[in-house]
Amino acid sequence: MADFETPKLKEYPVIPNLVDDVMKGSSPFIAKPLHNEPLGFPGELVEGWKDKAIDKMEDLLGKYRGLQVYLDSCVKCGACTDKCHYFLGTSDPKNMPVARQDLLRSVYRRYFTFAGKYFPKLVGARDLDKGVIDEWYSYFHQCSQCRRCSVFCPYGIDTAEISMAAREILDTVGVGQKYCNEIIAKVYKIGNNLGLPEPALKMTLEDLEEEIEEETGLPVKLPLDVKGADIMLITPSADFFAEPHIDGLKGYAKVFHEAGISWTISSYASEAGNFGMFIGSYENMQQISTRIREAAIDLGVKRIVHGECGHAWRVAYSFWNTLIGPFDFLDPNYPVPQHICEFTYDLIKKNKLNIDKTQNDHRTLTFHDSCNVARATRMGDKPGGQFDIPRAIIKAVCNNYVEMDPATTKEATFCCGGGGGLLTDDLMEIRVKGAMPRMEAYNEVVEDYGVTNLACICAICKSQFSKVLPYFNEKGAPQKFSMDMVVSVHQLVYDALVLTGQKFGDELDAHVAAMEAAADD
Amino acid sequence: MALEVDGKSYETDEEGYLADLSQWTQPIAVALAKSENLDMTDSHWEVVNFLRSYYEEYQIAPAVRVLTKAIGKKLGKDKGNSKYLYELFPYGPAKQACKIAGLPKPTGCV
């Protein structure tokens, strides 16, 4: 992996001078046949790839009217040019959203418009050749499909849709991305992105039950495959594995316990995430989602609640109805789908949770809006609920909360830099550079308000920040950013929520001693 | 890619993870550690051996939390924390230690 320089954090955002092709060399590992074939794609670059790619483009233009509108309607006004975190972090003009769109638009014009067919040079149309395929592969994997640019586009052109279409065309001719496709294949084989088999999941959940009992003195359960439970929780498998995700999972368990509601995790659908969206494949997105429907029916649950995962919430909120609906097998008195933040917020509003905010007094929080939650979904029943509800939860459980620059939050939030299928070590350079705009806003609140922690509600954001934060420490200076600054929103809930009957002090010590004695027998 | 150990060649993926888990030997672990600029000490071996036995049972690497707790139980509470593991494996116990132990890389949002 090539070495690269971490961008310097500036006091004010600056639009960089252009450096042509500086990120040309950034390409993720290519998927092998064993990654592509389970998804229904050819193993490697197919013969006749050019015609097949054009055919696929035609197919997508026919299926997705939006795509054609986006390709036709750009007037090159330039409003989007400085809105992409990857452009701001890399200075590469092809990372301007309009230029990224043009990579596909130029080929669209050549084969699907009158002017492009007869006067290609006049309208910026170009032939599809292998160089174009390579360029697509590189620059459409420098887009996290975060849709920030579309907020500022006067026509609402959605670069994410264009990126998804480009990746779908690439997959169709056998040029897949290893990271995404390997993961989707694991979902089909094992049930989750991580490849966590049922015995390991069971063992992890039991281990967490023991941990929670040691901390509360109460037998809080994380049930697996319990038929007839009221709620099925689907959550990113990172919540079973990674830090700080796992502390969020403990938080959900504590909330469910206090609510006195029966719930379960499914070993068959042990993944909320859906990388089918990242690769723009409707079929794969549907196949992944279907596992959740099947598990819910099989377990006979009444409700499905989502854990902290950004893109999964988008898939569920925006696509589930057509992908796997109707949901007539669920209780119509509850929203489908429902977010864990909605669930917790509801209990807070009804004063059903005993909160000791001082438990979080050692922290000063800020909140990072995840792109997919912010710009593609909602929570609660009011516009902007997806912004207000997570903040209301944090403020209900913490005394110290600070907002980042409003130009970088809510619908204008910057992506963490690792979304959209880019959260892989082979894309470290683009991930670090793309994190720069968010890091500048975070740095400001760390410097000015002593913020100690960055709260997130997305597994990708949590992993990405944990990884890239340390890159932004200045050499020789005292360490300002560390991976443990990143926290799950439900970790904060966990720390402040006092359960009915929870044990403390000597009583808790005695309980833990008894647990240890029982384990030794 | 391939890894050369004692005159024999072993297939690895693009990032240097061993392709065939069953080929793993201690000299291979030492060579994999070297490619990560790490010298294997007894402390490193304790972690690597735990990872291998966990993988044998569960077919996946343990969560960092499971790993820290297991190390803490075995070697004392002062070592049962992620700081200790990151000192041993700076690029992260889950990924770097797995690589040296010959295990596949954990995938997903981690």
Which of A200, A426, A460 lies closest to B109 in CB terms? A460
Record: contact A186-B82, CB cut-off 8 A: no
Q: Calculate the alpha carbon distances from A114 to A102, A109, A121, A132 in Å.
A: 17, 8, 13, 21
Residue that has been written with the tokens 């790839």 in this structure: A49
Q: Is the pTM of this model over 0.90?
A: yes
pLDDT in tens, A412-429: 999 999 999 999 999 999
Which of B15, B57, B69 lies closest to A425 in CB terms? B15
Domain ranges of chain A: 33-183, 184-402+451-496
Chain B neighbors of A211, CB-CB under 8 A: 65, 69
Give residue B95's pLDDT.
85
Kindly list the residues of chain B whose beta carbon comes within 8 Å of any beta carbon in chain A: 14-15, 57-60, 62-66, 69, 82, 94-95, 104, 106-110
A171: its two tokens:
């997959």
Chain B neighbors of A192, CB-CB under 8 A: 108
How far is the C-alpha of A162 from the C-alpha of A169, rounded, in Å? 11
CA-based nearest distance B41→chain A, Å: 25
DSSP sequence for A338-394: EEHHHHHHHHHHTT-S-B-GGGGTT--EEE---HHHHHH---TTSTTHHHHHHHHHH
Give residue A472's pLDDT.
97
A429: its two tokens:
């350079």
Q: Is the pLDDT of residue A11 over 50?
A: yes
Record: contact B107-A423, CB cut-off 8 A: no
Q: Is the pLDDT of residue A3 over 50?
A: yes
How far is the C-alpha of A350 from the C-alpha of A345, rounded, in Å? 9
For range A457-478, the mean pLDDT: 96
Q: CB–CB of A403/A415 below 8 Å? A: no
Give residue B64's pLDDT.
85
Domain ranges of chain B: 2-100
Chain B neighbors of A200, CB-CB under 8 A: 58-60, 62
Record: contact A207-B82, CB cut-off 8 A: no
Q: Which residue of B has its CA nearest to A423?
A: B109
What pLDDT band is residue A2 in, cutting at 50, 70 and 90? low
Chain B neighbors of A425, CB-CB under 8 A: 15, 95
A151: its two tokens:
């907020």
What integer best gives the mean pLDDT of chain A? 97
CA-based nearest distance B42→chain A, Å: 26
Record: contact A243-B65, CB cut-off 8 A: yes
pLDDT in tens, A190-246: 999 999 999 999 999 999 999 999 999 999 999 999 999 999 999 999 999 999 999
Probe site for chain B from A177, A243, A423 (most B CB atoms < 10 A): A243
For range A119-131, the mean pLDDT: 97
Would you mind telling me the total number of residues written for chain A in this entry?
521
Task: Tally A–B CB contacts below 8 A.
Answer: 82
Where in the sequence numbering do the catalytic residues of B fall? 109
Which of A29, A207, A238 lies closest to B110 in CB terms? A238
User: Among candidates A462, A450, A458, which has minimal Cα distance to A487?
Assistant: A462
Record: contact B109-A195, CB cut-off 8 A: no
Q: Which residue has the higher pLDDT, B21 or A109?
A: A109
Chain B neighbors of A194, CB-CB under 8 A: 60, 106-108, 110
Which of B69, B94, B107 lies closest to A195 in CB terms? B107
Kindly list the residues of chain A whose beta carbon comes within 8 Å of any beta carbon in chain B: 29, 178-179, 182-183, 186, 192-197, 199-200, 203-204, 207, 211, 236-238, 240-243, 245-246, 273, 309, 423, 425-426, 459-460, 462-463
Which of A29, A195, A240 lies closest to B63 in CB terms? A240
The CATH number corresponding to B2-100 among 1.10.10.370, 3.40.50.2300, 3.90.320.10, 3.40.120.10 equals 1.10.10.370
- Positive or negative torsion for Cα A417, A421, A423, A429: negative
Chain B neighbors of A459, CB-CB under 8 A: 108-110
Q: Is the pLDDT of residue A151 over 80?
A: yes
Three-state DSSP state, A133: helix
Q: Are strands A263-265 and A338-339 parallel, antiparallel or unpaired?
A: unpaired
Give residue A425's pLDDT.
94
Chain B neighbors of A309, CB-CB under 8 A: 109
Topology (CATH) of A33-183: Fumarate Reductase Iron-sulfur Protein; Chain B, domain 2 (1.10.1060)
pLDDT in tens, A356-378: 999 999 999 999 999 999 999 99
Q: CB–CB of A50/A111 below 8 Å? A: no
Least confident range from A97-111, A484-498, A501-515, B61-75: namely B61-75
A288: its two tokens:
């992944």
Give residue A1's pLDDT.
46
A15: its two tokens:
């639009």
How far is the C-alpha of B13 from the C-alpha of A146, rounded, in Å? 30
What pLDDT band is residue A269 in, cutting at 50, 70 and 90? very high
Q: CB–CB of A275/A304 below 8 Å? A: no
CA-based nearest distance B107→chain A, Å: 5
Residues (pLDDT < 50) of chain B are none
User: Among candidates A219, A202, A223, which has minimal Cα distance to A210?
Assistant: A219
Give residue A364's pLDDT.
98
DSSP H stretches of helix in A175-244: 178-190, 198-216
Record: contact B58-A203, CB cut-off 8 A: yes
Record: contact B64-A194, CB cut-off 8 A: no
CA-based nearest distance A316→chain B, Å: 18
